[in-house]
Amino acid sequence: MKSSDKREDFKLDLPRRPRRMRRTASLRGMMQETYVRVEDLIAPLIVKESGEKEPVGSMPGLFRLNIEDLVAECRELAGLGVLAVAIFPNMDASLKDAEGSEAGNPETLTLRAVKAIKEAVPEISVITDVALDPYTSHGHDGVLNAEGSYVMNDETVARLCEMAVLQAKAGVDIVAPSDMMDGRVGAIREALDEAGYIDTAIMAYSAKFASAYYGPYREAVGSASAAGTTLLGKETYQMNPANRREAIMDALMDEDEGADFVMVKPAGAYLDIIRELRDASQVTLAAYQVSGEYAQIHAAAKLGWLDYEKTRDESLLAIKRAGADVILTYFAKEVAKKLRA
């Protein structure tokens, strides 16, 4: 008997054949466990004071927008079904100082942008960053000590509470402390409640790692130029990428202090943290697919090394599969368009 005949006669006695359910698109669809919906996406947007929309070189497709263009972008996103946007300011260098004083200005750029969005597109939820790095001349997320060597925790938290109340007064739906100071969630919750903003939610950047993936964002908002580098070290307040238990501990502390959302940032390199935190926490879990993740997909696709759309979609699916309820991603608009097509 020929060897080929032997192969044709060979049959495995298998009670289960998983490939049965991969045979056709309809079968695969019935088996699919995880979906990314438009409602899962939050669009981070960069606002600037004036001028035409300005492309961010390291983030293809992302623009710094004046308030008028920002409102138009929010209107388009709302029309696509995106439920929320996160606003980050690109501040003029002349407004920056060591204390980040402009963050306490009731008419600062972010607050004027929020008011314009809420007036024109009231149905979309607005999230604002509660951190000093866009406003400081040194690029750090807080107030430095006299030697300029260390971010002071409690003094910074006091400033963050002031920022959060001003943002709530402007109409923000969700304040998002991204600074990683100890105790800031509880302090902000107390400050908001005392000021009468009991319905303003808190999205805590709970497990924010001192990651190498933030460089393009720092270019986009100008904190890199303030610091003189996209590689500004923030290891004394952002988390060690090596630590898993610490990440879960910090996130659960934020939940206990009153966070309505807890967040893992970055997302793609920290899927294990997202999964474990989803199992440990009962509040809504956000994950931030950061600028470096976005930029590397664009760069690899431009070189022809990856299929852009498939890689983009797989990256988001992985974040959702890991357990994220909502995803902050610079792909939000184009993915929403695809899903609504």
| pTM to 2 decimal places | 0.94
- Within-domain flag for 16: no
Which residue is catalytic, options 48, 118, 265, 333?
265
Nearest partner of 83 among 42, 115, 24, 47, judged by Cα = 42
Residue 190: CB atoms within 10 Å? 13
CATH classification of the domain holding 219: 3.20.20.70
What is the model's pLDDT at position 219? 87
What is the model's pLDDT at position 245? 97
What is the model's pLDDT at position 8? 75
Q: Supply the range of the domain harboring residue 174.
A: 36-340
Cα gap 215→113, rounded to integer Å: 24
Number of folded domains that form the chain: 1
- Within-domain flag for 100: yes
Nearest partner of 120 among 174, 71, 65, judged by Cα = 71
Which residue is catalytic, options 48, 118, 208, 234?
208
What is the model's pLDDT at position 335? 98
Degrees (nearest 5) of the Cα angle 115, 120, 126? 55
Each of the 341 residues of the chain gets a pLDDT tens digit; together they read: 566 666 778 889 999 999 999 999 999 999 999 999 999 999 999 999 999 999 999 999 999 999 999 999 999 999 999 999 999 999 999 999 999 999 999 999 999 999 999 999 999 999 999 999 999 999 999 999 998 889 999 999 999 999 999 999 999 999 999 999 999 999 999 999 999 999 999 999 999 999 999 999 988 988 755 445 555 789 999 999 999 999 999 999 999 999 999 999 999 999 999 999 999 999 999 999 999 999 999 999 999 999 999 999 999 999 999 999 999 999 999 999 999 98
Q: Residues 291-323, buried b or exposed e (16+ Cβ, 10 A)?
A: bbbbbbbbeebeeeebeeeebbbebbebbbbbb
Residues 6+ apart with CB under 8 A from 163: 103, 104, 130, 132, 175
- Within-domain flag for 8: no
- Within-domain flag for 25: no
- Within-domain flag for 322: yes
- Within-domain flag for 305: yes
What is the model's pLDDT at position 226? 45
Using alpha carbons, list the distances in angstroms from residue 307 to 25, 231, 293, 294: 20, 29, 15, 14
What is the model's pLDDT at position 233? 82
Query: In the annotation, is 115 catalytic?
Result: no
Cα gap 108→5, rounded to integer Å: 79
Q: Residue 175, SS3?
A: strand
Cα gap 196→219, rounded to integer Å: 36
Cα gap 42→332, rounded to integer Å: 6
- Within-domain flag for 21: no
Nearest partner of 290 among 330, 255, 333, judged by Cα = 330
What is the model's pLDDT at position 218? 87
Q: Left (φ > 0), alpha (ψ -120 to 50) or beta: where does 275 sit?
A: alpha
- Within-domain flag for 24: no
What is the model's pLDDT at position 149? 86
Decide: 150 and 236 in contact? Cβ < 8 Å. Answer: yes
